[in-house]
Amino acid sequence: MKHYLQFTDLTADEYAYLFSRAALIKHKFKSYEKHHPLVDRTLAMIFEKASTRTRVSFEAGMYQLGGSVVHLTTGDSQLGRSEPIEDSAKVISRMVDLVMIRTYGQDKINSFATNSRVPVINGLTNEFHPCQILADLFTFIEQRGQVNHPLQCLQGKVVAWVGDGNNMANTWLQAADLLGFTVHVSTPSGYEIDPAVAGLSSHNCFKVFKDPMQACQGADLVTTDVWTSMGYEAENEARKQAFADWCVDTDMMDVAKPDALFMHCLPAHRGEEVTAEVIDGPQSVVWDEAENRMHVQKALMEYLLLGRQ
Ligand code: CP
Ligand code: NVA
């Protein structure tokens, strides 16, 4: 049994399969062709933090695969009344085939997985957001690569990360380490990445830049995220001041490669981490990126339950 708790839980070879499979599943969806490999299977989705994309993409995706879903939040389940995570895992995993969790610490999802009889998927923790990077890479491959050799177009590419050293940044580092590209990271001081969290095999997969303009120089992809992640709302005002120079604007896009893409996992705050001109501009692929969450997660759920098809 496989869990998907962080990006490193799958190999490069498994990613190559998943990207090809996601392309096929997306094609079927666009052609109104039925694809029901998960009939009679149930996904439990547990949300301890808010969500739009993760909820809709997993829920719609599971129904499209022929399965069904159960939606739980902290407020409407015993999770909010301190039932131990281990007990919740033992009970929930006797009744469903697959579990997706969005929570705070990675330790919590790890404990759930340890006590689960079924595969567990990370739908975002404070440390990682692997499903989002899965979608981001698939979006890059769609734009720049070939479905038959999906990983090839990533080799040697530069991804500029502008902003917080957060769950998205950590997951980009893991992906770069595994799939052979480089992340140029620029964060305000006090909000740096911690490579130990990502658990990298080497530090060759990233370079740190004080100046976000330098991080964007020659990049194939420029990407950012909210200044304040969920769970850190108390730091909002301090972060607004610290991050003021880390707004992705046309000056940053202009020093990147002429065909550089812009991505953002969303939700976005125009005028904070990105200007409206950039996110709504011609280099932005944020809507494909959001839609692709559903296609890659359908491939992931099918793979975790049924293996290669
Ligand atoms: N990108 C993402 O995970 O969005 P939601 O918070 O809306 O799920
Ligand atoms: N880093 C953000 C991503 C939201 C999808 C957060 O954790 O809130």
Write the pLDDT tens digit of every residue in 267-288: 999 999 999 999 999 999 999 9
Per-residue pLDDT, 279? 99
Domain match, 98 and 153 both = no
User: What SS3 class is residue 257?
Assistant: coil
Is 122 a member of any domain? yes
Domain match, 108 and 180 both = no
Is 176 a member of any domain? yes
Write the pLDDT tens digit of every residue in 223-243: 999 999 999 999 999 999 999
Per-residue pLDDT, 148? 84
Residues of the chain with pLDDT under 70: none
Domain match, 137 and 281 both = yes
Active site residue 225: yes
CATH code assigned at 226: 3.40.50.1370
Active site residue 132: yes
Per-residue pLDDT, 104? 97
Point out the ligand nearest to the CA of residue 226: 2
For residue 54, give the ligand 1 atom closest to its CA. Answer: 8
State in Å: Cα 208 to ligand 1 middle.
26
| Residue minimizing CA distance to atom 2 of ligand 2 | 229
For residue 54, give the ligand 2 atom closest to its CA. Answer: 5
Point out the ligand nearest to the CA of residue 135: 1
| Residue minimizing CA distance to atom 4 of ligand 1 | 53
What is the number of domains present in the chain? Answer: 2
Give CA–CA dist 280/112, Å, rounded: 39
Domain match, 157 and 107 both = no
Provide the domain limits for residue 278.
Answer: 132-287
Active site residue 9: no
Domain match, 137 and 261 both = yes
Domain match, 93 and 149 both = no
Point out the ligand nearest to the CA of residue 230: 2
Strands of the sheet containing 261-264, edge to edge, are 206-208, 182-186, 158-162, 221-224, 261-264
Q: What is the 3-state secondary structure (H, E, C) of 114-179?
A: HCCCCCEEECCCCCCCHHHHHHHHHHHHHHHCCCCCCCHHHCCCEEEEECCCCHHHHHHHHHHHHH
Catalytic residue among 3, 102, 184, 239: 102
Give CA–CA dist 55/201, Å, rounded: 32
Per-residue pLDDT, 35? 98
Domain match, 101 and 149 both = no
Per-residue pLDDT, 147? 78
Is 1 a member of any domain? no
